[in-house]
Structures are given as C-alpha cells and as structure tokens.
Amino acid sequence: MATDKPLTLRRQKGRSITRAQRSSDSLQVEVLVDTGVFHLEQPFSYFLPEELKDLIDVGSLVRVPFKSDLKSGVVVSITSNFTASLKPVHSLLLNVRLSPSYLEFSKRVSERYVANQASILSAALPTFTKMASSIGVSPVSNQKRNSKPSRKAYLLNRGEAIETRVVKLIKERKESNLLIILPTQKEIEKVLKALGEVKQEIIEIGSHLTSSQRRKNFEFAATASPVIVIGTRSAVLAPMATIDEILIADELVEHFQEQKAPYWNLRDVALLRSEFEHCNISFISHSISLELARLIEIGWISYNSERKLLPGHRVNIATEPNSYHETIRKALKIGPVLVSVADKGYANTFSCQRCRNVALCKCGGRLIIGKKSEFSCSLCDFRSDRWRCQVCQADQIRIVKGGAEKIVEELGKAFPRVAIFTSTGDKVISSIDASPAIVVSTFGVEPEVIGGYAGAVLLNGEALLNRPFIRSEEELRFRWFKLATKVRSSGFIYLSLSSSHSLSQAFIGDNVMRAIRAECVEREAVSLPPAVRIIQVSGEERSISGLRRKLFEQFKELDILTSADNRTLHLKISHKKANDLLLSLKALQKYRSASSQELFSIRVDPYKL
C-alpha cells in the first residue's frame, strides 16, 4: 500500500492525519460492524494496533471483537483520539478498500429500503475463511468526473438478441471499466461465449461460484483496471476501483428482485450506484418496465428505440380465434416451431365441465393433473386417479389451462409424423438442429436453434393476463417480445389473444412502447405504481393498527389500504413524499429493535401485488 504522497485520512472534526503522523500516534478507528441487530447501526470505536497501522485505512475490511465474538466490519474513519479502554482491531480481512462514494451509496440503499447499512455491506462481501491475502491493492479511485453521466434505455429490434448487443457495447467501450448485470447464469455464459478474447480482465460475480472463487473475484473486481465485472443480481453491489458504465439487460425480470429482506430491486439500486459512483448506466431490452417508462417520460432517462417493422411482419402474425395449427403447418415447411406454454405437467387448472366450478381439494387447495387421470392437491398430499366435482358430483373435467404434457398430447394427434420435443425446468433441452420439429417449452428454457425458429406459437395469453397480479400484463408483454427474438425475420407467430387486444396491436405494429404508455396512463388514473410509490408493511394485528393511526396523523396525504386480516398495510404515497415516509419507518424499526419488539416486515415497491 505504499504511495508517493502522504495518505490523508479525515478526522471526525475535519482535521487530518498524514502517514508520517501515524507512527507516533495511537490511533482510534470507527468501524461499521455487522452486528445483526437493526438499531445498532452507528460505528463502534476500536484502537488500531501498531502492526496494523500501515495496513488499514478508511474503507478497509476488518475483523473486530464484538461482545464474545468476532464480527466483520468496515472502517469509516480514523482519528488520534485514542481511549485506553478500547478493544483492538483483531485483523485485516482483505487488502481491499471501499471508496467513500461506495459507503455513501450503501447508506442510501439502506435508507431507501428501510435496512441496516451494515447488512447492505455484508450482502456485498464474500464469506471469509482466511485473513488478508497477498494480492496487491491500489488506493480506490474516488475522483469526480467532469462530464455529466448518461442514463440510457435501448429498446432493441426484434431480430437482435440481448447477448449480441451486450457484446457489441463491450467491444465499443474498449479499456472501460464495465459492470454488466444479466438475469441468469445462462445469459452470462452466452455473452462470454460470444465475446471471445478481449484485453480487459473479465471477472464473474455470482452465487454459482465457490466461496474461495467469490472471495478471489471480489478482490480482483475491487482492484483491477480496466476490468469487466459480469454477474447476476448481487453483482450490482460488487466494489470496483472505478466504474465507467453499468449495463443492465432485461431490467424488469423477477430475477432482479432480491428475495430476502430488505427486498431491494436491481434497477433502483443500480440507478443509485450510478448517481454516487458518477458513472453512466444503460438498460437494454426488447420491452421495459413501467417504472423505467416513467423515468423516460419525465426525461430522467433518454430513450433509444431501434425497432423497425420487418418485411412481411404483419402478414406472418395470426391471432385468436384462428387455430394455431395453421401457423404450425406453415412454419414446419421451413424449420422447427416453438410452442410456448405457461406450465409444465398436464393441467394446473381445471374445472367441472357441467357447473364450471374450479376443481378444489377437501383442504381447499387447487387440484392439478400431473399426467392424464392423475389428480393431486397443490397444498396437501392428496392423490387419486379419479375425480368428482364437490358441487354437482359430475366427473367430466374442463381444462382451463393446459400444461406442456397436455399440449404435447394434443399436438401428437394433430401432427402424427412430426418429432415433438419437450423442454421444461426439470428437463431442459439446450439445443436442437434446424430440421422441422415441434418444441413445446416453458418460458426461459427454450432450446437454441441455429438460424432461429421458423415459427412460434405463444399460448395461454388470456390465462397469464388474468392472474391476480399487478404485473401480469407487463410480464406477458416482456415474455412474448422476448420469445419473438427467437423467430426468423420471415417466420410465423401465433398470439393466443384477439387481434383487438392492446398487446396484439403492439405486436402487429411492432410498437411495444405504445402498449407500455397506454398501461402507464391506466395506472396513473387509478393511482397505482409507477404513478405512486407503494410500501408494504406487515406485522402483528395490534401493532399494525397502532401504526395505521400514527401514519394517518403524521402523513395527511398518505393513502392506506389494509388487508382483510388487518396484518398488512399498503401505503400509497407520491414520489416526492416517499423519502420522508421511509426515514420515519426506519426510525420506527430502530425504536422497535431497541425495545426488543418484533420488527415489521417492510417491502418497498414490492414486485408482487
């Protein structure tokens, strides 16, 4: 860590300590410790042993004694105000230092998602089994760039795959420090395969790595330059010496929603990081979220559309009530056909043919058909080869939504001489050749075909749209426009919606933004996201009732929706006032933690509503 100039460290009162002064002073460090206790967010004081003085600076990752255990922490300041009763810093964890801008970024994330800052930092760090490694470290760059960072959204043409554009951007930005976030490991592998050899160091960050690999890659990502860091959701928290640009593909997918508290969303965390690291950010997709559309509408993000109507595009699109068998017949003449279904299995939803009541188990759970004449409950262990309606006692079933196995059965009868493949989550086919065949697949595990599919049949449109889920239309729009990229420009597409539906119209006109803007207008009319922010708060009934009264008193403009069991509140508030509400909720969580009360479960801008 030797430098040509004296390293300056800030005192808490604005003064500073040079490297030369360190040798004669007894130093005190303030450490942000991951205690696991919500209200203990303030830094704790330790004294710096002589043997660690030349190794530890502001931003260093250290191990410190806390109660009867050793905890990980981050040094946030160093002063000469040494107190004799302080415990010493135990050891240095890694030769990596977090920049002041990164620490500010983590603090802002903790405020936005009502979390403990140390827990956000802890989520960014790998598991430590050793002390500091021998990898050299250079001081973390934190210089402010003069140019204003750009924020862009690229809406790609149907014929261009996401990985193709990512590779193109990487090659255009030679010698740049890039942070690239992709939804799954599958997409990462595609990009790395297409990228081939590049001059920059490429570092992978993700849960698929071993603990030692994560720790090693964490160090390289934090110190190498120029470097390309590529990973899934958690990579957005990876410290880097310098970031020139953040690239995010398909920002609206559920993969980018953190599944554990504090339930942060990748898009918003990446935008915060771009702000504090003062770097460019680009979103790449074939369809975008309503939240990103709102930011484009208000001019906060610039919009770059490259969509163009392909020759014969309208002619080759069929919709209900036409039969999708005709689309399959046309496409089979020139190559394989993809049939996309919502579920694997035989039928996850069916009803009585006579009275149309949904088939339910005695326990109240929905019955599903795993294979023909094999009925089971989605909740309990009930299984049977017979079924009878509990309402009218009839035994004739009506399939509401057929799964992959049901569709395969039907297509086998309609196309007896055609090879049919099935690709689902538990039985994935990676690729097939370009000869005529039918591929029945659930979303996300479609086999690759060189040159693309000759046609695609997109089923279950109405069932997917009618899910009791606020993002059902947004998800279906993304899914279908994504699947369309797998079809040749001259290929055939069938949509299981009427031609008058807004999604079908967007497809026929190849104008996804028209459908997105129309839905944004609908949401604004009824005060739903992204027009407003929603914070979901859950807890014990008595505590929730008390919280509702206090919020009504403190925030007059707040719209509060209460669940039927009085255990969950949905707080609707304007974007302008949301930050004040979040800070109040965090203060409340600290008070409850200090009082040994159970914390509320808080989800900010929940993905599922």
Whole-number pLDDT of residue 152: 95
On whether residue 226 sits in a domain, the answer given is: yes
Average pLDDT over residues 31-36: 92
Whether residues 343 and 262 share a domain: the answer is: no
**What CATH number is given to the structural domain containing 157?**
3.40.50.300
User: Residue 39 — very low, low, confident or very high, per pLDDT cuts 50/70/90?
Assistant: very high
495 with 313: CB under 8 angstroms? no
In degrees, rounded to 5, the angle at the alpha carbon of residue 475 between the alpha carbons of residues 470 and 480 is 150
pLDDT tier at 143 (50, 70, 90 boundaries)? very low
- Alpha-carbon gap, residue 132 to 54, rounded angstroms: 13
Four-point Cα dihedral 193, 197, 198, 200, nearest 10 = 90
Residue that terminates a domain, selected from 97, 119, 134: 97
Distance CA 235, CA 233 (A): 6
| Mean per-residue pLDDT over the chain, rounded | 87
Q: Determine contact, residues 71/34, Cβ cutoff 8 Å.
A: yes
Strand partners, 65: 70
Confidence check: pLDDT of 394 > 60: yes
Mean pLDDT over 580-594 rounds to: 96
- What's residue 138's pLDDT? 44
In a domain, 479, yes or no: no
| Per-residue pLDDT reduced to its tens digit, 310-338 | 656 666 899 999 999 999 999 999 999 99
Work out the average pLDDT over 562-576. 94
Residues of the domain holding 77 = 9-97
Beta strands in 411-461 (DSSP E): 420-423, 438-442, 453-458
Q: What is the CB neighbour count within 10 angstroms for residue 182?
A: 28
| Amino acid residing at 353 | Q
Q: Is the pLDDT of residue 6 over 80?
A: no
* Residue after which a domain boundary falls, among 247, 280, 305: 305
CA 498 to chain centre: 31
Q: Strand 9-10 and strand 16-17: pairing?
A: antiparallel
Identify whether residues 251 and 342 lie together within a single domain.
no
- 329 and 354: one domain? yes
Count the alpha carbons within 13 Å of 3 in the hemisphere toward its beta carbon. 15
Query: Two tokens at 194?
Result: 């297409």
Size of the chain, expressed as the number of residues it contains: 609
In terms of C-beta density within 10 A (0-12 exposed, 13-18 middle, 19 or more buried), how is residue 241 classed? Answer: buried
Token pair belonging to 327: 């689309």
Report the range of poorest mean pLDDT among 272-281, 393-402, 555-564: 393-402
**Contact (CB, 8 A) for 168 and 158:** no
pLDDT value for 20: 45
Q: In this structure, are 290 and 353 located in the same domain? A: no
Q: How far apart are CA 178 and CA 244, in angstroms?
A: 6
Per-residue 3-state assignment (H helix, E strand, C coil) for 226-244: CEEEEECHHHHHCCCCCCC
Tokens read off for 163: 């990985």
For residue 510, being part of any structural domain is answered with no
* Residue 449 and residue 352 share a domain: yes
Residue 210 scores a pLDDT above 80: yes
User: What pLDDT is stored for residue 311 in this prediction?
Assistant: 59
Instruction: Summarize the confidence of residues 219-237 as an average pLDDT.
Output: 92
pLDDT > 60? residue 132:
no
Q: Is residue 238 located within the same domain as residue 360?
A: no
90-94, 396-400, 525-529, range with the lowest pLDDT: 396-400
For the segment 80-107, the average pLDDT, to the nearest whole number, is 89
Which pLDDT belongs to residue 3? 35
Query: Which of 305, 330, 349 is at the close of a domain?
Result: 305
Q: Is 196 helix (H, G, I), strand (E, B) or coil?
A: coil
Pair (565, 499) in one structural domain: no
Residues facing residue 498 across a β-bridge: 320
Which helix (DSSP H) or strand (DSSP E) does residue 388 occupy?
none
Q: Is the pLDDT of residue 199 over 80?
A: no
The Cα 92–Cα 285 span in angstroms is: 42
164 and 293 belong to one structural domain? yes
Distance CA 195, CA 197 (A): 6
pLDDT tens, 256-276?
999 999 999 999 999 999 999
Q: What's residue 309's pLDDT?
A: 62
Amino acid at 85: S
- Residue 142: predicted pLDDT: 47
Peptide bond into 416 cis (omega under 30): no
CB 143, CB 273: distance < 8 Å: no
Summarised one tens digit per residue, pLDDT across range 365-386 is: 778 877 667 888 877 878 888 8
Question: How many structural domains is the chain composed of?
Answer: 4
Query: Angle 182-186-188 (CA atoms, 0-180°, nearest 5)?
Result: 45
21: in domain: yes
Asked, for residue 51, whether it belongs to a domain, the answer is: yes
Closest to 249 in 3D by CA, of 178, 193, 184: 184
367 class by beta-carbon count within 10 Å (0-12 exposed, 13-18 middle, 19+ buried) = buried
Q: What is the mean pLDDT of residues 190-215?
A: 86
Q: Are 438 and 420 in contact (CB under 8 A)?
A: yes
Q: Are residues 453 and 356 in the same domain?
A: yes
**With bands split at pLDDT 50, 70 and 90, how would you rate the model's confidence at 341?**
very high
DSSP string across 245-310: EEEEESTTSGGGB-SSTT--BHHHHHHHHHHHHT-EEEEEESS--HHHHHHHHTTSSEEEE---PP
**Is 255's pLDDT higher than 90?**
yes
Q: Which of 554, 545, 542, 549 is nearest to 584 (CA)?
A: 554
What is the distance between the alpha carbons of residues 589 and 585, in angstroms, rounded to a whole number?
Answer: 6
CA distances from 72 to 33, 106, 128 (A): 6, 16, 9
Same domain, 208 and 290: yes
Within-domain flag for 145: no
- The answer to whether residue 517 sits within a structural domain is no
With CA atoms as reference, report the closest residue to 440 among 486, 403, 401. 403
CA distances in angstroms from 456 to 2, 330, 414, listed in the order given: 61, 11, 17
Q: Is the model's pLDDT at 23 over the cut of 50?
A: no
Q: Which residues are bridge partners to 569 per DSSP?
A: 537, 562
pTM listed for this prediction: 0.86
Is residue 352 within 8 Å of 392, Cβ to Cβ?
Answer: yes
| 292 shares its domain with 352 | no
Do 41 and 85 share a domain, yes or no? Answer: yes
Q: Residue 105: inside a domain, yes or no? A: no
Can you give the CATH number for the domain in which 574 is found?
Answer: 3.30.70
Residue 131 has pLDDT above 60, yes or no: no
**pLDDT single digits (tens) 453-474:** 999 999 999 888 888 889 999 9
Q: Does a cis peptide bond (omega within 30 degrees of 0) precede residue 149? A: no
Greatest pairwise CA separation for the chain in angstroms: 90
Query: Residue 185: pLDDT above 70?
Result: yes
Within a 10 A sphere around the Cβ of 255, how many other Cβ atoms? 16
pLDDT value for 477: 96
Output the pLDDT for position 313.
61
pLDDT of residue 348: 66
